[in-house]
Amino acid sequence: MFDAMMGMYSYDVDDEKYTVLHTVFTMVHIYIANIFLLNYLVAILSTVYEKMMEMGDFAFKCNKYWYIERYLIAFKDQWGYTQLIVHAPPINILLISLLTSIFKQDAMLRAANLYSLANFWVENLFFIFYQLLYELMLVPIIYLRMFYNVVKLGGYRSSHLILFWVFCGPFFLLYGASIDIYYYVKILCDYKLDDDLQVKMEEEDQKQDKIVIYNEIISVLKSVLFIFQQKQ
C-alpha cells in the first residue's frame, strides 16, 4: 500500500481506449497520495515529539536532582570550603593557594574570603577598564557635538559660551567620565550584606531548596512509575 502511494508502478497504458480513464485515475491518485503522505509525516513527527518530550522531561528532572543533591551540601558550608567547587575551569587552578588552609576551619574561612574577593576584583577590573575606555572614546564625539549645538543655537552672539566650551569642555567631559567610573567602582564595592538579613535569606533559601528537592523527587518517581507501566 505504501509503495502504491509512492507511485511505484508503471504508468504505461497498453490499450489506448483506457488512456483518458488512466489519466483520471492518476490525477485522483496523486491528489489522495499527497494527503496520505502528509498525514503520515505529521503522525511520525507527532509520535517522535511526544516520546522526546517525555524522555527529555525525565532526563531534565534527573539531572536537576543530581545537581541539587551534589552542590546543596557544599553550599551549606560555613567555613569557606564552598570555594573549592563553585569555580569553573580554568579559574579553579588558582585554588591551589587554598590547599594550605584546608585543615583549619578558621584559616580556611579567611583564605576563602580573600580568594573570593581577589577573584571578584580580577574579573571586574576588565569591565572597569572597558567602561573607562568606552567613555574616553565618547569624549571627542560629545565634545564636537556640544560645540556644534552651541554654535547652532547661540550663533556668534554666544561667543563667550563657545570659548568656554572650547577650553573647559574637555575637562568637564573627563570629570564626568571619572565620576561615572567612581560610582561604578562604588557599586562594585557594595557586596556586603547585613548579617541578620543574610542569615534570614539563607534560611529562606534552604527552605525553598528543600521544597524544590521534595517536589523533584516526587516528579521523578512519578515519571519512573509511568515509564515502567508503559514498558509493561
* Per-residue pLDDT reduced to its tens digit, 105-133: 888 888 888 888 888 888 899 999 999 99
d(CA 214, CA 27): 61
* Domain-embedded: residue 64: no
Q: Check whether 64 has a pLDDT greater than 80.
A: yes
* Domain-embedded: residue 6: no
The 8 Å CB, 24+ separation contacts for 227-230 are 227/54, 227/58
d(CA 198, CA 204): 10
- Average pLDDT (15-19) is 67
* Domain-embedded: residue 163: yes
* Domain-embedded: residue 108: yes
In the block, residue with C-alpha cell 547652532: 152
* Domain-embedded: residue 210: no
Q: What pLDDT was estimated at residue 188?
A: 86
Q: What pLDDT was estimated at residue 9?
A: 59
- Are the C-beta atoms of 118 and 125 separated by less than 8 Å? no
- pLDDT confidence of 142, banded at 50, 70, 90? very high
| Domain span including residue 183 | 76-192
Kindly report the length of the chain.
232
Q: What pLDDT was estimated at residue 200?
A: 63
d(CA 53, CA 128): 44
- Average pLDDT (14-28) is 72
- pLDDT confidence of 170, banded at 50, 70, 90? very high
Can you say whether residue 39 is alpha, beta or left, with left for phi > 0 and alpha for psi between -120 and 50 degrees? alpha
- Mean pLDDT for the chain? 81
* Domain-embedded: residue 84: yes
Total number of domains in the chain? 1
* Domain-embedded: residue 116: yes
Percent of the chain whose predicted confidence (pLDDT) is above 70? 85
d(CA 164, CA 148): 14
* Domain-embedded: residue 119: yes
Q: Check whether 63 has a pLDDT greater than 80.
A: yes
